[in-house]
Amino acid sequence: MKTICTIFLAVILLIGCDKPGAVETNLPKCVKDKIAELEKEPVTNPPSSIWQFEYNGKTVYYVPPYCCDFYGTVYDSDCRVICHPDGGITGQGDGQCPDFAKKATNKKLIWEDNR
């Protein structure tokens, strides 16, 4: 019984050993390039991150604003800007996707700067 418990705990530990900030391998190249670009910039507080959502039937990538009046940006899978759902002087974004917060689903953190 002790051996079974030891093996079980070892498996649990190995499953949870993802490298923090590791980039998923199945991301579009342009998203990986965006991550590399963010890693070259100075560290921000809060940390830079990229989130994946489903929005209007497509996979999109959201980069939150890192400060005050900057926009958050939603990109398609080719890294074309779809909209800025939040941020800016009003905090309401650019008005191009006012329904993003309500319609975006399957939120998944795909990268966070952990420097």
Could you report the per-residue pLDDT of 44-90, keeping only the tens digit for each? 999 999 999 999 999 999 999 988 899 999 999 999 999 999 999 99
Q: Among 48, 55, 90, which Cα is nearest to 74's?
A: 55
Residue 91 lies in a domain: yes
Q: Is residue 99 part of a domain?
A: yes
Q: Please report whether residue 5 resides in a domain.
A: no
Domain with 75, as residue range(s), is 22-112
Domain presence at residue 4? no
> Within a domain: residue 35?
yes
Q: Which residue has the tokens 């890294």?
A: 79
Q: Is this structure's pTM higher than 0.75?
A: yes
Number of structural domains in the chain: 1
